[in-house]
């Protein structure tokens, strides 16, 4: 387990260093050299993932063997559980899966940045156009979400006003604390998906702005 954590930390540091060096790229020649370094790092990372997949299949086979052994025991023996060997093997399998997921996330992060490095003026122009279009689409989606949020808030206020009108203020004040809580809860539940999506969109827009700013510094 310690070895896997060391490998993950090693690649995390190397990828962070590789990504931070992007800020210094100003020409297509710089980018081509960066691409070669990043591609080599990605290939090494993929090899680590492949090796880990082999280990995972081996651990899975071990678990299946231990499970068959357990099932072959008498009902009385099975009452005492699958034993320490199974617990150790199961935990090893779980840690290997976690490590594989983390390495895959790192590989995806690096691959994404490789995909966004222009190799020539045409790539550069195309990427800027693509990113600006993405930003415009996200801004439209964000405005639509804002309209939906406003509609939900208006609906909640109208529900409160309707109740007050039907029962009268005194009756409303005495008997509807529960209903007011229900209205508030309903509003929050309806808003949650929109608020979450809004946060994601805002994060994507910030990321796109950073990429555009970086691309505009590249002069050829």
Predicted model pTM: 0.72
Of 94-108, 124-138, 173-187, where does mean pLDDT reach its minimum? 173-187
Indicate if the pLDDT at residue 165 is higher than 50. Answer: no
Q: Mean pLDDT score of the chain, rounded to an integer? A: 83
What phi, psi does 119 have (nearest 5°)? -95, -10
Helices 2-20 + 84-115 axis angle, to 10: 10
Residues 14 and 112 in one domain: yes
Residues 49 and 125 in one domain: no
**Residues in CB range of 142: below 8 A, 6 or more apart:** 198, 201, 202, 205
Q: How many domains does the chain have?
A: 2
Residues 126 and 55 in one domain: no
| 63/130 Cα distance (integer angstroms) | 48
- Would you say how long the chain is, in residues? 220
pLDDT single digits (tens) 20-68: 898 899 999 999 999 999 999 999 999 999 999 999 999 999 999 999 9
Residues 103 and 150 in one domain: no
Residues 83 and 6 in one domain: yes
**Which of the listed residues 77, 98, 117 is the one where a domain comes to its end?**
117
| Closest residue by Cα to residue 107 from 37, 163, 156, 44 | 44
**Residues in CB range of 213: below 8 A, 6 or more apart:** none
Residues 41 and 136 in one domain: no
Residues 112 and 127 in one domain: no
The residue segments making up the domain with residue 67 are 1-117
Residues 127 and 178 in one domain: yes
Residues 24 and 103 in one domain: yes
Residues 203 and 125 in one domain: yes
Residues 20 and 100 in one domain: yes
Radius of gyration of the chain (CA): 28
**Which of the listed residues 62, 91, 117 is the one where a domain comes to its end?**
117
Give the per-residue pLDDT at 75. 84
**In the chain, % of residues over pLDDT 90:** 47
Give yes or no for a contact between 92 and 3, defined as CB atoms under 8 angstroms apart.
no
**Which of the listed residues 117, 152, 172 is the one where a domain comes to its end?**
117
Residues 158 and 214 in one domain: yes
């Amino acid at each position: 387990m310690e070895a896997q954590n060391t490998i993950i930390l090693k690649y995390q540091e190397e990828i962070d260093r590789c990504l931070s060096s992007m800020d210094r790229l100003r020409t297509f020649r710089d980018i081509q050299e960066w691409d070669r370094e990043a591609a080599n790092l990605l290939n090494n990372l993929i090899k680590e993932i492949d090796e880990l997949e082999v280990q995972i299949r081996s651990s899975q086979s071990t678990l299946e063997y231990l499970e068959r052994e357990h099932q072959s025991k008498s009902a009385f023996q099975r009452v005492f559980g699958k034993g320490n060997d199974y617990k150790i093997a199961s935990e090893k399998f779980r840690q290997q899966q976690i490590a594989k997921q983390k390495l895959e996330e790192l590989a995806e992060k690096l691959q994404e940045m490789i995909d966004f490095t222009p190799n020539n003026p045409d790539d550069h122009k195309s990427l800027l156009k693509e990113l600006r279009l993405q930003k415009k689409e996200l801004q439209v989606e964000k405005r639509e979400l804002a309209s939906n949020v406003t509609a939900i808030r208006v609906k909640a206020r109208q529900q409160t006003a309707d109740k007050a009108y039907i029962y009268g203020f005194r009756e409303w004040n005495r008997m509807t604390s529960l209903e007011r809580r229900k209205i508030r809860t309903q509003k929050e539940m309806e808003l949650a998906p929109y608020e979450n999506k809004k946060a994601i969109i805002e994060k994507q827009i910030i990321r796109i702005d950073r990429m555009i700013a970086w691309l505009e510094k590249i002069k050829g």
